[in-house]
């Protein structure tokens, strides 16, 4: 029994979870709920406000007309014939700009009715039903003053509350018709705006579903000048980065396999030669030296790949502190000085940065050593290391120049790629590591040829972050 109940509950929850509403439907529903709420609030407010307004306007108009009538009757005697003759020469009285008609009762001070157009309805009944919850009439009474200043009678104007309600109902019907027409127009506009809003979203969703790293993808173009357009541009930029990253990964694996294959083949060839007895005597020692050298090279490549992966995946921690740029550069120069002297290359240093720079000292030193080692490989006789501080931009510019043959035309864009190796180059890991270190310091590194000849590596880093 409990199992059956659990299955039914799971099925119900699954059904509920499967009910999804698209964003366009949500917006349209919200729009209709807003219109319906406004319609209901307007209708209820109009019903009560218009009722009170009409009663107030009727009372004021009755008051005004009663005063006019009392002034007309003040000059005549309140007898039936004279009053009827006087009224016959006057126009019928209406209220609310002649949309609601009024009745009249003229009576003496002793409550004797002189004139009435309300038939058999008594004055007491009218007065009783003009107050309280069972109110049926709206009345206004004015005194008729004789020439001697005494009150000789009263004129009472009466408007039926039923007529006011009927008039209010007619106004509500007009309002209802107007609101229905407005709702139809709003429905059309809502559907139009819903389609205009959801169409670019559907295009973006379709583009995202069809995106593939393997095949060619059409460039998405959504020009809506709003957040959806910005989202489309962001997605386009993201897809470009993903494609570039995928291409870089493919190139990385291709180059890595090539770099690892070369020492492995040398190790395998010499080891098989010794094992098969092809290599004998003194040649065995030479083969073993090759195996050792290639093993060390292989170890260096693997260490470089591992270190670069840590830098790019932010697994390697950076410890920033304010350091003297001059001291860090001179320590890097000292590390490669013996190698430069062996090749007869002079390294000149010109540092004009006197403010401390925020950096990870050891990693920045490694970046400089990599750049200096690359310059020593291609320089003819001299390497110049210079650094200046740009106060206006709060950054330092470091340049390492050599007097070698310079870069090939296409090398300036490829030289920092992993495993890219130019003519007489190394493993192609050093400059990729250097680029990762500089970018971790929020800096930029570029390479080009100088006008005098030779390659120039330029680094621009902020003084503080």
Q: How many other CB atoms sit within 10 Å of the CB of residue 4?
A: 8
Using pLDDT thresholds of 50, 70 and 90, give the confidence band for residue 89: low
- Same domain? For 83 and 168 the reply is yes
CATH value at residue 293: 1.10.287.130
Name the 3-class secondary structure at 437: helix
- Same domain? For 60 and 193 the reply is yes
Asked if residue 354 is part of any domain, the answer here is: yes
Using pLDDT thresholds of 50, 70 and 90, give the confidence band for residue 81: low
Q: How do 137-145 and 321-323 pair as beta strands?
A: unpaired
Tens of pLDDT, residue by residue over 278-287, are 877 778 888 8
Tens of pLDDT, residue by residue over 244-268, are 777 777 766 766 676 677 778 888 8
Which residues make beta-bridge pairs with 383?
Answer: 347, 402
Asked if residue 132 is part of any domain, the answer here is: yes
- Same domain? For 129 and 240 the reply is no
Using pLDDT thresholds of 50, 70 and 90, give the confidence band for residue 458: very high
- Same domain? For 416 and 377 the reply is yes
Asked if residue 40 is part of any domain, the answer here is: yes
Name which of 93-97, 291-295, 302-306, 375-379 the model is least confident about.
93-97
- Same domain? For 203 and 258 the reply is no
Using pLDDT thresholds of 50, 70 and 90, give the confidence band for residue 92: very low
Q: Write down the pLDDT at residue 331.
A: 93
Does the pLDDT of residue 174 top 60, yes or no? yes
pTM: 0.51
> How many structural domains compose the chain?
3
Overall residue count recorded for the chain in this entry: 465
CATH value at residue 380: 3.30.565.10
- Same domain? For 76 and 188 the reply is yes
**CA–CA gap between residue 13 and residue 18 (Å, rounded):** 9
Using pLDDT thresholds of 50, 70 and 90, give the confidence band for residue 3: very low
- DSSP letter for each residue of 171-200: HHHHHHHHHHHHHHHHHHHHHHHHHHHHHH
- Same domain? For 390 and 458 the reply is yes
Q: How far is CA 229 from CA 161, 192, 240, 429, in A?
A: 60, 19, 17, 40
* Whether 384 contacts 376, CB under 8 Å: no
Name the 3-class secondary structure at 13: helix
Structure tokens of 140? 């206004």
Asked if residue 5 is part of any domain, the answer here is: no
Rounded to a whole number of angstroms, the CA Rg of the chain reads: 49
* Whether 177 contacts 56, CB under 8 Å: no
Phi, psi of 146 (to 5 degrees): -80, 175
**CA–CA gap between residue 60 and residue 276 (Å, rounded):** 126
- Same domain? For 153 and 29 the reply is yes
Higher per-residue confidence, 95 vs 206: 206
Asked if residue 69 is part of any domain, the answer here is: yes
Asked if residue 204 is part of any domain, the answer here is: yes
Which residues make beta-bridge pairs with 402?
Answer: 383
The stretch 158-167 carries a mean pLDDT of: 83
- Same domain? For 178 and 56 the reply is yes
Q: What is the mean pLDDT of the chain?
A: 78
Tens of pLDDT, residue by residue over 416-437, are 877 666 666 566 678 888 888 8
- Same domain? For 30 and 142 the reply is yes
Helix (H) or strand (E) holding 323: strand 321-323
Chain Cα centroid distance, residue 56: 52
Those residues whose C-beta lies under 8 Å from the C-beta of residue 325, and which sit 6 or more positions away, are 351, 353, 356, 357, 359, 387, 396, 398
CATH value at residue 172: 3.30.450.20
- Same domain? For 78 and 148 the reply is yes
Residue 294 is part of which domain span?
Answer: 227-312
- DSSP letter for each residue of 15-54: HHHH----HHHHHHHHHHHHHHHHHHHHHHHHHHHHHHHH
Asked if residue 2 is part of any domain, the answer here is: no
* Whether 128 contacts 121, CB under 8 Å: no
- Same domain? For 176 and 233 the reply is no
Answer with the one of 269, 287, 312 that is the final residue of a domain.
312
Q: Provide the b/e sequence for 45-79 (b: ≥16 CB within 10 Å).
A: ebeeebbeebbeebbebbeebbeebbebbbeeebe
Q: Write down the pLDDT at residue 5.
A: 43
Q: What percent of the chain has pLDDT over 70?
A: 82
Asked if residue 4 is part of any domain, the answer here is: no
Q: How many other CB atoms sit within 10 Å of the CB of residue 1?
A: 5
Answer with the one of 312, 330, 361 that is the final residue of a domain.
312
């Amino acid at each position: 029994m409990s199992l059956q109940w659990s299955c039914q509950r799971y099925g119900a929850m699954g059904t509920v979870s499967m009910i999804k509403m698209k964003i366009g439907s949500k917006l349209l529903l919200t729009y209709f709920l807003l219109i319906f709420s406004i319609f209901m609030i307007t209708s209820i407010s109009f019903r009560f406000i218009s009722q009170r307004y009409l009663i107030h306007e009727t009372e004021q108009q009755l008051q005004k007309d009663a005063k006019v009538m009392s002034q007309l009757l003040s000059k005549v005697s309140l007898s039936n014939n004279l009053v009827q003759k006087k009224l016959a020469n006057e126009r019928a009285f209406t209220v609310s700009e002649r949309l609601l008609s009024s009745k009249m009762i003229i009576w003496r001070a002793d409550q004797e009715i002189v004139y009435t157009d309300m038939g058999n309805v008594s004055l007491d009944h009218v007065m009783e039903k003009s107050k309280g919850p069972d109110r049926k009439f709206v009345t206004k009474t004015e005194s008729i003053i004789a020439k001697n200043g005494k009150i000789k009678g009263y004129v009472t104007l009466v408007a039926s509350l039923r007529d006011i309600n009927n008039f209010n109902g007619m106004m509500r019907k007009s309002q209802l018709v107007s609101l229905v027409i407005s709702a139809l127009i709003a429905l059309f506009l809502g559907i139009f705006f819903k389609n205009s809003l959801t169409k670019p979203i559907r295009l973006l969703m379709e583009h995202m579903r069809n995106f593939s790293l393997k095949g060619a993808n059409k460039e998405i173009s959504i020009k809506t000048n709003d957040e959806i357009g910005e989202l489309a541009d962001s997605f386009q930029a993201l897809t470009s980065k993903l494609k570039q990253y995928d291409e870089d990964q493919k190139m990385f694996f291709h180059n890595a396999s090539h770099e690892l294959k070369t020492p492995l083949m040398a190790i395998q060839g010499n080891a098989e030669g010794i094992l098969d007895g092809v290599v004998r005597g003194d040649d065995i020692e030479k083969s073993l030296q090759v195996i050792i050298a290639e093993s060390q090279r292989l170890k260096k490549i693997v260490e470089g790949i591992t270190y670069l992966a840590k830098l790019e995946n932010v697994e390697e921690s950076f410890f920033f502190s304010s350091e003297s740029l001059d001291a860090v550069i001179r320590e890097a120069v000292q590390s490669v000085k013996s190698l430069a002297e062996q090749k007869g290359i002079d390294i000149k240093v010109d540092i004009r940065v006197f403010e401390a720079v925020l950096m990870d000292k050891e990693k920045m030193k490694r970046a400089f050593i990599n750049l200096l080692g690359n310059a020593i490989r291609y320089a003819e006789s001299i390497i110049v290391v210079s650094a200046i501080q740009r106060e206006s931009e709060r950054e330092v510019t470091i340049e390492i120049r050599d007097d070698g043959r310079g870069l090939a035309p296409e090398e300036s864009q490829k030289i920092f790629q992993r495993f890219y190796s130019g003519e007489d180059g190394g493993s192609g890991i050093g400059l990729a590591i250097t680029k990762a270190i500089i970018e971790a310091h929020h800096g930029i590194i570029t390479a080009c040829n100088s006008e005098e000849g030779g390659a120039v590596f330029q680094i621009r880093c902020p003084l503080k972050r």
